[in-house]
Structure 1
Amino acid sequence: MSHPVRRSPAPPRPSSRPGRRPRTRLAGLVTLIVLATVALTGCGDETAGADDSGPLRVGYQRFGGLSLVKARNAAPDVEWSLFESGPALTEALKAGAIDIGQVGEAPPVFAAAGKIRFRIIGTSAPVPQGEAVLVKEDRGFRDFADLRGRTVALNKGSNVHWLLVRLLEANNMTLADINVKYLKPAEARPAFDNNQVDAWIIWDPYFALAEQPGVRILADATGLASNREYVLVSPQALESRSDQIRTFLETYRSTTDWGIANPEERTRTLAPELKIDEATTARALARSAQPLAPVTPAIGAELQAIADGFTTLELVPGPVDIASLVDDRYNAVFG
């Protein structure tokens, strides 16, 4: 608490304004408490934001399998937090604001490089057709190599960042051959629509929403990237909320399986949650909704190859030991 500034003698304060000094002390105390809370939240350690007595706090992205769990109210006892992208979700893990969440394949690498503490406890089948490079038909681009010297928009640290790396490799190009513009989906869509960028690398459902007349899919991740989903959990929650996590994962698995078995009802259920029309929702789900899967040594190796690729290009400070963060204790739920 700051000390009062000493001033020259002054006449006594009127007695009609009682309690002024206690309020000042109280305000100072509140300020200290707030500052201490912010400091703890920002430090990113395993105890930040921990509240083991409350509901499980789940971070999700619009469209992922967790959106279906929420839309069906299949896990009514959890607390939901919506994020526009995986990097934003991993920052919430760092701050201790969520216990568990779902992201694409690049965010775990960038999070680990940023010293965010988490474990990878589940994944999905590959979703290579769920992300793509979009261009305008009238621009005349026919393959990715045509984008040499052009401006390409994408969300930094997201799954499409790895797709960019793989596309460059496949076309004997480097990052120096294109102008990369890092934009979040809400920023990239108008930039793409208004021809402020030449190409946009994006994932579903933003991908499906952008599939308008005059838009061409230049390439997707087929043969280049798996584009799996990954389930991340904080180490604190992993140790103190193991039963809650298991129960939630069982619901996540059963809801995902139900959606795959009932695609039409899944579309009707999910479209209002996504705030997207049913036709667009169905198109995106048909290529991007995949079953969940356990984490295996092969999954760890796949993630490590992604981390090594980002490190080689100096997109993250390396080395990043991402394989060691794979935790298979819930494999029976996913298997």
Structure 2
Amino acid sequence: MSLILSRRSALGLMAGSLVAACSGAAQAASKLFVGDQRGGSRVVLQGAKRLDNVPYEIIWSQFPNAAPLLEALNAGAIDSGIGGDSAFIFAAGTDAKIKAIGAQAARGMGPVVLVRRDSPIRSLADLAGHKVATPRGSVSHNHVLAVLEAYHQPYDAVTFAFLSPSDGRAALQSGAVDAWAIWDPNAAMAEQEGARILPGKQDLVSGYALMFGREGAIADKRPLLQDYHDRLYAGWAWAAQNRDAYVDLMHKDTGLALDILRITQARADRFPARVDAALIAQQQETADRYFRAGVIDRKLDVRPLFDTSFS
């Protein structure tokens, strides 16, 4: 009798565990874990009123830039997020299990290289022999490599100091580096502090912000990802069409000065874009450059990194 009761108890425990596991899986499936940056996705979604009546829960996590966000995606801590295309290609070169499922294009001023006001460096052609701060694998890193190519200089013509945006700014101010490769609004803030943007060959690299999906989330949470994708595209369209309102929301979310944000808005337009063959071909150029420069250790075919089915 005791054996029968023991078996019944065991079956009851197993059933209870199965119900709990199924309940936990169902709860996880009804939540989308999204990585964001200050002034990023959440702001445009709020502005476009696309956070109203979402039929699932969005759990937000904040990141300072694309690199740690991509690391969190690859580790399975979040399901989706946005970041620069160059940073994505760099992460893909280290076997990240992430796909790009959406894109926001930029037209206007992209990444730049700044120097202190009293620097003897006068143009991008003069970078050789100098130390340049930039985040590793970022669009600004890509930009400096493309500048060196454009001026027929070897990749080791400059010494890189791979620093976060905040550390790069401090390094330029202190004189620890000769130049800082970065993007707006960081560039606009540095200009107000006396830095100069180096003139020369610009617009050498693509400047997409990409929407990412973790491969596991694409498989298990596709309806949620599709819905969030469509909401984000509506948010991007709203931001492109309501620039003043977007600047006001950015100011409230980031604490950045309105004049800095207005400068940033005036220098570049951003708008939704399709993930298509043309975009993928531009990313292949970045992957090939990163391989030639030794940033990634193998030649990379980027086509499998993009999922065009969400468009």
Q: Are the counterparts in 2 of residues 129 and 221 from structure 1 also a CA contact under 8 Å?
A: no
The residue matched to 1:123 in structure 2 has which SS? strand
2:207 is the alignment partner of 1:227: yes
Q: Are the counterparts in 2 of residues 60 and 67 from structure 1 also a CA contact under 8 Å?
A: no
Residue equivalent to 1:323: 303
Distance in 2, Cα, partners of 1:70 & 1:185: 26
1:222–1:63 Cα change, 3 Å:
farther
Q: Are the counterparts in 2 of residues 127 and 228 from structure 1 also a CA contact under 8 Å?
A: no
Residue 169 of structure 1 and its aligned partner are, at CA, apart by 0.4
Aligned positions of 1:147-158 closer than 5 A: 147-158=127-138
Q: Are the counterparts in 2 of residues 153 and 200 from structure 1 also a CA contact under 8 Å?
A: yes
Q: Are the counterparts in 1 of residues 47 and 246 from structure 2 also a CA contact under 8 Å?
A: no
Q: Are the counterparts in 2 of residues 63 and 205 from structure 1 also a CA contact under 8 Å?
A: no
Residue equivalent to 2:20: none
Q: TM-score, normalised by structure 1?
A: 0.78
Q: Are the counterparts in 1 of residues 110 and 203 from structure 2 also a CA contact under 8 Å?
A: no
Report Cα offsets for 1:257-285 as digits up to 9, x if no partner.
12221111111111111110111112112
Residue 187 of structure 1 and its aligned partner are, at CA, apart by 0.9
Residue 311 of structure 1 and its aligned partner are, at CA, apart by 0.7
Q: What is the root-mean-square deviation of aligned Cα atoms in Å?
A: 2.2
Of 13, 33, 36, the residue aligned with 1:57 is 33
Aligned positions of 1:141-180 closer than 5 A: 141-180=121-160
Residue equivalent to 1:120: 100
Residue 313 of structure 1 and its aligned partner are, at CA, apart by 1.5
Q: Are the counterparts in 2 of residues 86 and 107 from structure 1 also a CA contact under 8 Å?
A: yes
Aligned positions of 1:41-56 closer than 5 A: 52-56=28-32
Distance in 2, Cα, partners of 1:214 & 1:258: 34
Report Cα offsets for 1:2-45 as digits up to 9, x if no partner.
xxxxxxxxxxxxxxxxxxxxxxxxxxxxxxxxxxxxxxxxxxxx
Residue 198 of structure 1 and its aligned partner are, at CA, apart by 0.9
Q: TM-score, normalised by structure 2?
A: 0.84
Larger C-alpha radius of gyration, 1 or 2? 1
The residue matched to 2:232 in structure 1 has which SS? helix
Of 196, 202, 218, the residue aligned with 1:238 is 218
Runs of 4 or more, structure 1, over 4 Å off, are 70-73
State the one-letter code of the partner of 1:170: A
Residue equivalent to 2:76: 96
Residue equivalent to 1:183: 163
Report Cα offsets for 1:172-209 as digits up to 9, x if no partner.
11232111111111211111112211110011222222
1:296–1:66 Cα change, 3 Å:
farther
2:167 is the alignment partner of 1:211: no
Q: Are the counterparts in 2 of residues 128 and 222 from structure 1 also a CA contact under 8 Å?
A: no
Of 292, 303, 307, the residue aligned with 1:312 is 292
- Which blocks of at least 5 consecutive residues in structure 1 are unaligned? 1-48
Residue 69 of structure 1 and its aligned partner are, at CA, apart by 2.5
- The number of residue pairs the alignment matches comes to 283
Pick 1 or 2: higher relative contact order, CA cutoff 8 A, min separation 6.
Answer: 2
The residue matched to 1:130 in structure 2 has which SS? coil
